[in-house]
Structure 1
Amino acid sequence: MNTPKILIVVSAIFSMFSAAANSETLTLNVEIPQLNVAEYHSPYVAVWLESKSRKSTQIALWYDIKMADNEGQEWLKDIRQWWRRGGRSLDLPYDGLTSATKGPGSHQIIINLNKAELKDLDAGDYKLRIEAAREVGGRELIEIPLTLPLDKSALPISKSGKSELGKISLSLQTNN
């Protein structure tokens, strides 16, 4: 009789759905301010999680991916901290990480905490870093301190930029 095999398969499927149903995600809202300047270019933006030992886990990268001959990649070094902390070693475009630049407005990044590279991080103190650099403009870096495993009582967190970045907020979503 095949009943035990069917029960094992059903149990495995139920476990997968239960894990997905109880998954947690971080929602990062990044505001790009409307600037009153003569020549405006959308900023290149990098988001990464950095450990105390400066090991980086990449979250998002917005740059001009449509430029001929991948010329947009040439300007990624202007996102200076990100570039020095591991950006230069990435094979771009990085699947699931790279997207086009964003114009003024509020933009949302969903960070799945069950992704292998995030789920397997050691417990400890980290910084969520958001860096923007704009051609014929400035650059700005905002850091949000985090402790893993997440202290849910510490969320939501909000910070505000002064020039290239506006309001940055981080909140936890539990998908039941």
Structure 2
Amino acid sequence: MHVRYSLAPLAMSALFAAPAFASGLAVNIEIPRLNVSEYHRPYVATWIERADNTVAGTLAVWYDVRTKTNNPEGEGTKWLKDMRQWWRRGGRELSVPVDGVTGATKPAGKHQLSFTEGTAPMPKLAPGAYKLVVEAAREVGGREVVSIPFQWPPTAAAQPTATGKEELGEIKLELKP
């Protein structure tokens, strides 16, 4: 008796099971420890801007998410506008909280975020020039904006960095082709 097996179903399942490799990026944000009498954690917004300074996508917003019983919006949302550049470029149109984008303020230290293109909150980007922008604002403190220019899609792995002066430490962008 001769048994014949078809490899077509096996080949098709391997084709559909193979992962789709999409470009991505990681962002490392350092919040420095400040020696001040009244320290408040900074609000931080991280986004991608096109060459014309319009927002391609907001990646993360850290703010005071605690709520008061008499304030349904949340205590900290009224201070989001202190991150002036982010607010003017697109933050005011964002209805917070946003799942996967907004979160609580972070303590001093290094914090890493990773994104895959086309998976929320990282938008699908057209090829071209962009900037990663990180803005921090702190109550009884200062405000600072750090940006890192980059080309999309990345042709090779790269790790451009920029450093803030007070409210932000080292900002590192890791591009993954």
> Same fold judged by TM-score > 0.5?
yes
- Percentage identity across paired residues of the two chains: 46
TM-score (norm 2): 0.84
Count of matched residue positions in the alignment of Structure 1 and Structure 2: 167
| Matched letter for residue 167 of structure 2 | E
- Could you tell me which amino acid in structure 2 is paired with residue 29 of structure 1? N
- The residue that corresponds to 1:169 in the other structure is 172
Q: Which runs of 5+ in 2 are unaligned?
A: 1-5
**Which structure's CA Rg is the greater one?**
2
The structure in which a higher percent of residues are helix is 1
Distance in 1 of aligned mates of 2:103 and 2:120: 21
Aligned to 1:59: 59
Question: How far is the alpha carbon of 1:5 from its aligned partner?
Answer: 9.1
Shift of 1:39: 0.4
Contact 2:115–2:122 under 8 Å retained in 1: no
Say yes or no: does 1:103 pair with 2:102: no
Give the corresponding residue for 1:121. Answer: 125
Question: Does 2:145 correspond to 1:159?
Answer: no
Structure 1 residue ranges without an equivalent (≥5): none
> In 2, distance between residues paired with 1:23 and 1:36?
42
Question: Are 2:156 and 2:176, in contact at CA under 8 Å, matched by a contact in 1?
Answer: no
Give, in whole Å, the separation in 2 of the partners of 1:95 and 1:54.
Answer: 25
Q: Please give the root-mean-square deviation of Cα atoms over the aligned residues, in Å.
A: 2.2
1:8 positional shift: 8.0
CA shift digits 1:119-167 (9 cap, x unpaired) = 53221111110000000000000010011122425x1111111000001
1:10 aligns with 2:13: yes
Structure 1 position 31, deviation (Å): 0.5
Deviations 1:33-92 (A, max 9, x none): 000101000000000001123331111110011132212100000000000010000111
Aligned partner of 2:62: which letter?
Answer: W
**CA shift for structure 1 position 113:** 2.1
Q: Which has the higher contact order (CA 8 A, sep 6+)?
A: 1
Give 1:99 shift.
0.9
Letter in 1 for 2:149: P
Query: Does the residue aligned with 2:77 lie in a helix, a strand or coil?
Result: helix
CA distance in 2: counterparts of 1:173 and 1:38, whole angstroms: 41
Output the CA distance in 1 between the equivalents of 2:13 and 2:155: 34
**Distance (Å, rounded) in 2 between the aligned partners of 1:127 and 1:60:** 15
Amino acid at match of 1:160: T
